[in-house]
């Protein structure tokens, strides 16, 4: 596992810049990202004496020497840390700041990097006579929603358009971006093809029915009423001439590409109309869903473990500063937990073995929901297995067929399917996957058992009629991965604009 010292480096987006000057910054004569300065191996010491231009938003401001000096903590989003700017009244543009240079103001400073006399950071920016400051957008301090004091996460959700300026959400955004980048890097390195799947669908992948309907019939309903046939809504008059919904998964749509291109993945938004108010569920979230041809459940589990470790390692190597922030602000010991996750293989056990363990541990664990074979495990059961029993991420596999989707391959015992869930400490289920049912007769039987309409899956059945192939895949919610990597407890705080029952603001 990488050590903290060996992995401290500038974020990937900062490393991509050539030299000090950020791309596409001609407006201000070429700016330098603050992260490029403060996250360099020597904390910016090698840049002392250089003239640079920095732009960003004031975190704090204070006057000294009866207003002849202004100290500004400036942040541009490239780093959790802010650069201290010492602004002398002799600098060009100083007078324009009067009464407008409060927390949240957007500014440009052109000055010289100097050694900082304080111990907080190695360098600071001195802006003096011959240098320049420019105010882009001032702030009336008394009206600014993000004052210097800390705010609750609930309050920050109410100002989702401004919360990226908070250190906490800024760190989340950078880690989330890194995990997205790592996702594409991993699958590309393994020869997978990226496929875009539709967001509007007529098929329910999970067979749960908890989907957001897509219709244009409501526009004229108040005037003309809904079109009806035999007491039911006549969807032939709708935009798509049939019932359609927002997708709950891209899996069914990406499988045909798997059966032609061998290894594929889709990565996009998905939607669940579940009336859930927990800290682990959203109505709109992002899913990563790979499909592997000529692969069984073991291949699927191996891929899931390798992918998760790749993403965590990438974040450790490129966003260590952000993770250290979360180590202090969200989950003490986070960095060590992530190192431990990378250090050894994940535990693996069958669903039946897991149930036996939980039943044996029940008197001591005092579960709220009693444990029995055939149940869909609750979060308390999943977390107990990976936190108390195995004490590391755990893959549970071979689940009862009654609690899993129709497309999962039926095992020889006719009671279980080749399904797997990857469980992580503090989170519970992070990844769910399975070997897909490639036998048409068995698939048809499962569709019937789930009381689904085979006509809706005619094209899915065709994959089993023409050159059927053993294949496997899994789905991972990006937001769960961000929670795992950052230690953030509420899923509403790891997505820019959370959608959940009663909330679709912004």
Residue 430: give the domain boundaries. Answer: 165-211+247-493
- pLDDT above 90 coverage of the chain, percent: 83
Spell out the residues 6+ positions from residue 185 whose beta carbon is closer than 8 angstroms to its own: 310, 314
pLDDT computed for residue 15 by the predictor: 45
Please name the residues in contact with 205: beta carbons below 8 A apart, sequence gap of 6 or more: 247, 248, 249, 251, 252, 405
Residue 191 inside a domain? The answer is yes
pLDDT, one tens digit per residue, over 380-424 is 999 999 999 999 999 999 999 999 999 999 999 999 999 999 999
Entry pTM: 0.92
Is 374 found in the same domain as 336? yes
Task: Specify the pLDDT at position 205.
Answer: 53
pLDDT tens-digit map of 439-485 = 999 999 999 999 998 988 999 999 999 999 999 999 999 999 999 99
Residue 33, domain CATH:
2.40.50.140
pLDDT band at 14 (very low <50, low <70, confident <90, very high): very low
Tokens of 192: 């997978």
Give the integer Cα–Cα distance in Å for 178 and 13. Answer: 9
Task: Give the helix/strand (H/E) hosting 71.
Answer: strand 69-75
Q: Binning pLDDT at 50, 70 and 90, where does residue 92 land?
A: very high
What secondary structure letter does DSSP report for 396?
E
Same structural domain for residues 171 and 132?
no
Domains identified in the chain, total number:
2
Q: Are both 365 and 486 inside the same structural domain?
A: yes
Q: Name the pairing type of β-strands 428-435 and 416-424.
A: antiparallel
> pLDDT tens, 29-80?
999 999 999 999 999 999 999 999 999 999 999 999 888 999 999 999 999 9
What is the C-alpha to C-alpha distance for residues 226 and 218, in angstroms, rounded to an integer? Answer: 7
Non-local CB neighbours of 169 within 8 Å, separated by 6+ positions = 156, 163, 493
End-to-end CA distance of the chain: 41
Here the CATH number for the domain that contains residue 204 is 3.30.930.10
| Amino acid 209: pLDDT | 57
What's the pLDDT score for residue 4?
40
Query: What integer is the mean pLDDT of 481-490?
Result: 97
Residue 16: band (very low, low, confident or very high) from pLDDT cuts 50, 70, 90: very low
SS3 letters across 10-23: CCHHHHCCCCCCCC
Cβ atoms of 195 and 267 closer than 8 Å? no
pLDDT tens column, 270-282: 999 999 888 889 9
pLDDT at 161 over 90: yes
Residue 3 lies in a domain: no
Q: What are the backbone dihedrals phi and psi of residue 285, each rounded to the nearest 5 degrees, phi first? A: -155, 175
Q: Looking at residue 118, what is its pLDDT?
A: 76
Task: Say yes or no: 122 and 171 in one domain.
Answer: no
Residues 330, 469 within the same domain: yes
Do 290 and 419 lie in one domain? The reply is yes
User: Between 147 and 36, whose confidence is greater?
Assistant: 36
Report the pLDDT value the prediction gives residue 280, as an integer from 0 to 100: 87
Residues in Cβ contact with 13 at an 8 Å cutoff, skipping those fewer than 6 apart: 78, 177
With beta carbons less than 8 A apart as the criterion, state whether 271 and 211 touch. yes
d(CA 271, CA 286): 9
Tell me the HSE value of 410 on the side-chain side, using a 13 A CA sphere: 16
Helix (H) or strand (E) holding 246: strand 244-246
> Cα separation of 18 and 53, whole Å?
15
∠ CA 393-416-275, nearest 5°, is: 65
């Amino acid at each position: 596992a990488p050590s903290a010292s060996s992995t401290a480096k500038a974020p990937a987006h900062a490393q991509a810049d050539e030299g000090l000057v950020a791309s596409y910054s001609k407006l201000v004569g070429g700016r330098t990202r603050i992260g490029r300065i403060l996250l360099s191996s020597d904390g910016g010491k090698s840049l002392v004496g250089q003239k640079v231009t920095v732009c960003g938003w004031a975190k704090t401001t204070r006057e000294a020497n009866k207003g002849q000096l202004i100290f500004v903590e400036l942040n541009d989003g490239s780093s959790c840390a802010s650069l201290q700017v010492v602004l002398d009244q002799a600098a060009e543009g100083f007078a324009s700041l009067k009464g407008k240079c409060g927390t949240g103001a957007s500014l440009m400073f052109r000055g010289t990097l100097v050694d900082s006399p304080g111990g907080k950071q190695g360098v600071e920016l001195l802006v003096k006579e011959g240098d320049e400051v420019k105010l882009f957008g001032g702030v009336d301090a008394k009206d600014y929603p993000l004052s210097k004091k800390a705010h609750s996460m609930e309050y920050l959700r109410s100002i989702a358009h401004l919360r990226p300026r908070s250190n906490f959400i800024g760190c989340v955004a950078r880690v989330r971006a890194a995990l997205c980048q790592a996702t594409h890097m991993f699958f590309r390195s393994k020869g997978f093809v990226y496929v875009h799947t539709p967001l509007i669908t007529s098929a329910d992948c999970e067979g749960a029915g908890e989907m957001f309907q897509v219709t244009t019939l409501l526009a004229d309903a108040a005037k003309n009423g809904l079109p009806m046939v035999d007491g039911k809504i006549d969807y032939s008059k709708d935009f798509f001439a049939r019932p359609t919904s927002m997708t709950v998964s891209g899996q069914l749509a990406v499988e045909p590409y798997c059966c032609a291109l061998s290894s594929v993945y889709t990565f996009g938004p998905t939607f669940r109309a579940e009336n859930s108010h927990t800290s682990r569920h959203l109505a709109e979230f992002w899913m990563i869903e790979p499909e592997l041809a000529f692969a069984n459940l073991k291949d699927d589990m191996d891929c899931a473990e390798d992918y998760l470790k790749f993403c965590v390692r990438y974040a450790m190597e490129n966003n260590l500063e952000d993770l250290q922030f979360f180590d202090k602000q969200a989950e003490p010991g986070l960095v060590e937990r992530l190192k431990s996750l990378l250090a050894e293989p994940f535990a693996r056990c069958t669903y039946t073995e897991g149930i036996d363990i939980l039943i044996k541990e029940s008197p001591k664990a005092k579960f709220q929901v009693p444990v029995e074979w055939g149940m869909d495990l609750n979060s308390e059961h999943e977390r107990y297995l990976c936190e108390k029993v195995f004490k590391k991420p755990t893959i549970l596999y071979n689940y009862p067929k009654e609690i899993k989707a129709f497309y999962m391959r039926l095992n020889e015992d006719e009671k279980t399917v080749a399904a797997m869930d990857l469980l992580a400490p503090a989170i519970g289920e992070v990844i769910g996957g399975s070997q897909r049912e490639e036998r048409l007769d068995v698939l048809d039987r499962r569709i019937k058992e789930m009381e689904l309409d085979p006509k809706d899956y005619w094209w899915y059945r065709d994959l089993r009629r023409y050159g059927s192939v053993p294949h496997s895949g899994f789905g991972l919610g990006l937001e769960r991965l961000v929670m795992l990597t950052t230690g953030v407890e509420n899923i509403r705080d790891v997505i820019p604009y959370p959608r959940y029952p009663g909330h679709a603001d912004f």
